[in-house]
Chain A
């Protein structure tokens, strides 16, 4: 006994699913297939064994294990960093300090290779730390190790997990926990039996993306990993694509292994989320209780936050700023070695660097806006991942995050630049936007999905009962509930797009630079100070922009959760 409206809805949903599939096939599926095609069909003949041979030969199994082990360790450390922080910001008075969120986005906005460089300059022999505290030489030994790398990558990625967890904790609200308390559950028990199961779906999604980002990360392994001789899949893939001799076949074979690892992860995560998805956002009002922190606990939380900020922002940025204001790199930290010339050169009007900044901002705005619109549509089509088709879409929309960026980009180039294409997007502005959208779509999809799956269906039914048309329901019920997710996705995409490097290096039309490629070029050219100055300027601008959004956003009603 179902009303007609629901049937209509079902048809709409099916059409949506088909549309989503089509879109994803064109933008993601075909480019990746072209890559596989290239790996098994080199020089015009079939060679099915090529990928297998690549993986079994050349000691690559060790490299694969390195990648996976790094991913697991980074997941563990990011959890340690992000979970207490998420609880504090969701459940205590500290959450009223919205600026903390923006500051915490800084590590994420920093191009990974810049962050790693900052740490390297700080900790290395004769580095900034030793120039202050000569006795710290033994720390240097300790730091330049596998765990140092895990720490750097975790500090770079934890904001991402933190945002997901914090939003999830806020959505859980106080009612359920109070119910537990009323029935005599102690704090530990309540956490174990109420909060934890409810968090698992968001947490699973978060750690899966952290894991995948870690094993697909290129910047840190390229700078720090190379120093300590820890090689991972991405550095190998990059080697085959960017150093002589080029071997796309090998690179794509490796990428397919990486992809398989990520698919397994994805499967485990989606199985877990399906098991632990609960309707949390229902029709009843939410009261969320915030603990006021007094005495020891308050101090402890404050100390924790301070330490985290020093490690994730303070130290790398001290190095970056110090390096950007040095007259001579060889003269070390001293006041007579200070100069602002690099900034002057960087910000002189009409210079290459100014154009690069403009390009970065423009591209990121365009890409993040498009990505949010498409990503929200996809997330709604995926819904609760109940049907097989929806799971396929889910998988597809996550693919760009599981394929190393560089491989995805090469696929896109092969596709949009192939002779049989009626028009070529390659070497145009549109191509760059398309690439960014494809690369960063997963973020929006994940954020929106995570807020959408927790909405109780009864809300929509209520809307229908009261005669709301689909559009009205969309406008008055669905959108207000998923806008925080959309906004988070938009911000995430924007910040990552402003620092995207690997793809940009390959896809930007000649003569066009973004701030990230500019920085990279300066490093290649030995103008480290100029590159660091650019990093400071770009990140500074992004922070100001996000602060502005944060201020506007906190005036809105939907944030009153």
Chain B
């Protein structure tokens, strides 16, 4: 247990671990849905502290990773236009589209700007009335409400030179798709804490019941994750499958009602493609009819762009928990954070980047040699 001293409360961590070790009697496969949780698990070696019978599978919980190549290509096309100021969160800059990324578009003269909040993009639109300002609206239920509020404000303030390139995705349909896959091994879910901070927990009981799978809302600090694992394993050992909240300091059953109301007003549910996975029914949002005029895809006529992902990138399998990053043939060799083939390697929250960064003991010899921390 060489990492345990790094925990904020090593004594509590040890107690939780002891309890998990004492409870488990047979193999269980749990999926953590949030990319932040994946990083915390790998960084602190949590998976190696757990009993061998408890396997953690990394889920599709990194918003940057699951944004489809097609949407990245649309962003690159829009960002290249001279009349456009393209605003994005910083972690989208290096996500590879077909042949290039936003960082390169800026190098070629595109006006690409990084903002901390979508409201910053709206302010840029106010300050530049003769330009078109486009905000790259990606992310899960945690990020969608800020973007929804920004479009709402644009409409309220009569700002017409602002639009949103929307690629928002929803977690529950992804869980449904994972459970329906014939190769699914997942027996319990650590649900993403901050998604539930917004959405609450009422989307989960039906999922838990239908698939007879425990769903435990979990934070992403090391102790939160151990507590989530402890509660999930306890349910599995008892043959239960309920929804439980192991992150009550940040998650209330009803979530954030104001944010949920805004989501319902600004967006409507639609089918969405997930990078590497494909289309999942009802798994995303698009602007509702009332706000459709703020849709960048139609404003810049890029809705026809169709692209294919590189065949050798297996991030789709990684995102579905079917493949561990280091089991990919090009991991750490042709695919590194400097030369990523797919978003799971470029995003700081991606599972491949986590494995590469923290140089897991079980990675391939070739990858270990290629890693600069070796």
Q: Do A and B bind each other?
A: no
